[in-house]
Amino acid sequence: MSENPSDLRYTNDHEWARADAAGVTVGITRHAVEALGDVTLVNVDVKVGGAVTAGKAFGTVESVKAVSDLFAPLTGTIVAVNAALQDKPELVNEDPYGQGWMVTIAPAAGESTEKLLSAEQYDAFLGTL
């Protein structure tokens, strides 16, 4: 049984993506949160209206253990940034698949979350680490 929500798609960089009418919301997985420890800062380098490219960094997440890049799971335009994380970065630890989201992206033409890993594929990937 997957510990990762089956309605999400995943990357090898430990980001998750949830597609809906607003766009594709992106965050980091529970695995990433556990590896990082207590998140102390989330920095999104791209403002609303800015472009992101699949596989390229769009910000960082800092913790007591490390600083890690956040990678865009697909190419598109940022339509929302989770401002709540500025004052409460611990939301990433408390609710990584909910209130701890980072950005929402409007996918570019031809971009889809279908190219990302399913929960089962991500679980299999985690088994290789």
Three-state secondary-structure class, residue 45:
coil
Query: What are the pLDDT digits (tens) for 16-51?
Result: 999 999 999 999 999 999 999 999 999 999 999 999
CA-closest candidate to residue 73, choices 3, 16, 5, 6: 16
Q: What pTM, to 2 d.p., does this model score? A: 0.94
Inform me whether the pLDDT recorded for 122 exceeds 70.
yes
H runs (alpha helix) in the chain:
30-36, 84-87, 91-94, 119-127
Which amino acid is residue 50, in one-letter code? Answer: G
Per-residue pLDDT at 1:
37
Check: CB of residue 88 under 8 Å from CB of residue 82.
no
In this prediction, what percent of the chain has a pLDDT beyond 90? 92
* Residue 86 burial (CB count, 10 A): 12
**CA angle, 100 then 97 then 57, to 5°:** 65
* 120 phi and psi angles, rounded to 5 deg: -65, -40
Check residue 14 and give left, alpha or beta (phi > 0: left; psi -120 to 50: alpha).
left
Residue bearing tokens 């680490």: 129
